[in-house]
Amino acid sequence: MTVFDELQQAIINGQAALAKELTKKGLDSGKKPRDFFPNAIIPAMDEVGRRMRECEFFIPEVLIAARASRAATDLLRPLLVGDEAVQAAGVVVCGTVKGDLHDIGKNIVAMMLESAGFRIVDLGVDVAPEKIVQAVKDENANVVALSALLTTTMVNMKGSIEALKAAGLRDKVKILVGGAPVTDAWANSIGADGYGKDAPAAVELARRLAATA
């Protein structure tokens, strides 16, 4: 097995310390920081997403895999600064909408998007529409990902999208929505660009949308 294969396995198995060690080993042996993503990290998290869909992995497995992935990317990111050949897959502003304090789902989506090469600007929970608008401006984001866990708060997704429209930013970003009560029909009715049924779906959608944003 190459060091990339080993790293991929370590991430899938949620072995953070090993992932860190293998990343160091790879770097020491002359592997380029940018090559870790397509050869180990992204395929590992794609596999995690697949297993989650097939119900082989549940939230704990996904969380520890994302943590192992982060152990690797934390070492790599500083080395990528200034590497012209590397561009983030996109910049995602994410958050749980106003009035809603639930964040495990949002955190998992954020971690998986990060592993997929996106730069994440996580605004946390109970995020007011103005804050989303400001972050999109400040960070030059091209994707906005909104989460809500309650039918009482998902209406605030609409308010966030309207605030982006009012600020003249709606056409600059792709908006994806998710969370337990959210449906495709709801996403369409509020003018979002897509609905992620689960974290892997959100990643797939973000990739597709970012490519056209």
Partner 1 sequence: MRLKLISCEIFYREFSATVARSPHIVDVEFLPKGLHDVGTEKMRAELQAAVDRVDSARYEAVLLGYGLCNNGIAGLTARQIPLVVPRAHDCITLFLGSSKRYLEYFDSHPGVFFKTTGWIERGGSDGELTQLAIGKAIGWGANYEALVAKYGEDNARYLQEQLGAMTQNYSQFTYIEMGVEPDGSFEQRTRDEAAKRGWKFEKLAGNLAMIERLVSGAWDAQEFLVVPPGHRIAARYDEGIIAAEAV
DSSP 127: B
Closest to partner 1 by CB, 90 or 200? 200
Residues 91-120 that bind partner 1 (CB under 8 A): 99, 101-104, 107
The reply on whether position 211 binds partner 1 by CB under 8 A is no
Neighbouring residues of 61: CB distance < 8 A, sequence distance ≥ 6: 14, 48, 51, 52
The reply on whether position 140 binds partner 1 by CB under 8 A is no
What does the alpha-carbon distance between residue 35 and residue 28 come to, in Å, rounded to a whole number? 14
> Nearest distance from residue 6's CB to partner 1, in Å?
18
What does the alpha-carbon distance between residue 77 and residue 159 come to, in Å, rounded to a whole number? 35
CA 36 centroid distance within chain: 18
The reply on whether position 79 binds partner 1 by CB under 8 A is no
Closest to partner 1 by CB, 46 or 61? 61
Query: Are 68 and 14 within 8 A, CB to CB?
Result: yes
> Nearest distance from residue 211's CB to partner 1, in Å?
30
The reply on whether position 159 binds partner 1 by CB under 8 A is no
The reply on whether position 152 binds partner 1 by CB under 8 A is yes
Per CB under 8 A, the segment of 3-11, 62-70, 112-120, 159-167 that binds partner 1 is: 62-70
Cα dihedral 126→173→212→148 (10° resolution): 20
- Strand 194-195 and strand 174-178: the pairing is parallel
In the complex, the residues that contact partner 1 under the rule CB under 8 A are: 14, 16-17, 58-60, 63-64, 67, 99, 101-104, 107, 125-126, 150-152, 154-155, 180-181, 183, 186, 189
